[in-house]
Amino acid sequence: MKAKLFKYLCYSQILCFSTSCAANVEQSNDEKSATDWKLIWSDEFDQPGLPDESKWSYDVGGHGWGNKESQFYTEKRLKNARVEDGLLIIEAHREAWEENEYTSTRLVTRGKAAWIYGRFEIRARVPKGRGTWPAIWLLPVDWNLGSKKWPDVGEIDIMEHVGHDPGVVHASAHSKTYQWQAGTQKTATIKVPDAYEKFHTYALEWTETEIKAFVDDQLYFHYEKEGDSWQSWPYQRDFYLLLNVAVGGEWGSVKGIDSRAFPQRMEVDFVRVYKANTES
């Protein structure tokens, strides 16, 4: 707990950009952002039990969900989502539930908190196993662009990892113009060979003109705004955060699902949201 508090204090100053904190955070100084940030929202997961209801809600359902997935997302079920030993645990199980083969949880800040622009940091360890598909991502509060459906409304993926391609982390931005179903999404990958063995900090910096993604402060994804068209840049309004572990799906089950690998969990040490100190 002391080590965790120490890291928190360092981050809350200027994200450990000073040399006094540099030794305590994995970082790449040549890639690290020079922006000064102010902490505005966080969850350190210090209270055991169900996730904090003042900060998190649940997306509930199954039957394929949005990507032909195999899990049912449950609500307020400790087996699938809980806080213990200072960590948030989202755990997928192989079990029959509402005509689905697996259970899991999708936590969202929708209705609790949303942001336009900022830096998002999530320190996590991803699950291992073919068929797992953990994600840390953002969706808009208002679905009011174009068709009023995905992908027109936009999506920002801070971290995705599919179990059939272990150790490869993805960050992406989806819009009407650039989205995965057409193979045009703005995206990049980075190799994190021990992603399911060790915790890493997955970060997003989002401004009026650009989106950047980092792992342990190493920049690997950079997308700049192209003109003023919402079709390619629907990222000018409030988005909320999602944390989930999907099973299977159109991407997660490309090489099938190893049912023997379950249960599998994503563990989250903290979630922190910052705004630039230059903002009012």
In the predicted model, is pLDDT for residue 203 greater than 70? yes
List, by residue number, the catalytic residues: 155, 160
Say if CB 236 and CB 116 are below 8 A apart.
Answer: yes
Q: What percent of the chain has pLDDT over 90?
A: 81
Contact of 28 with 216, CB cutoff 8 Å: yes
Residue 56's pLDDT band, with cuts at 50, 70 and 90, is very high
Is the previous residue joined to 140 through a cis bond, with omega within 30 degrees of 0? no
The more confidently predicted of residues 40 and 65 is 40
CA distance 77 to 105: 8
210, 220 in Cβ contact below 8 A?
A: no
**pLDDT in the model for residue 183:** 83
Torsion over CA: 250, 188, 270, 196 (sign): positive
Look at 226 and 5; give whichever has higher pLDDT.
226
pLDDT digits (tens, 9 = 90+) for 172-192: 999 999 998 888 899 999 999
Question: What mean pLDDT do residues 189-196 have?
Answer: 98
Q: What does the pLDDT look like over 243-280, one tens digit per residue?
A: 999 999 999 999 999 999 999 999 999 999 999 987 55
Q: Which domains does the chain have, with CATH numbers?
A: 2-20+34-276 (2.60.120.200)
Contact 99, 70 (CB under 8 A): no
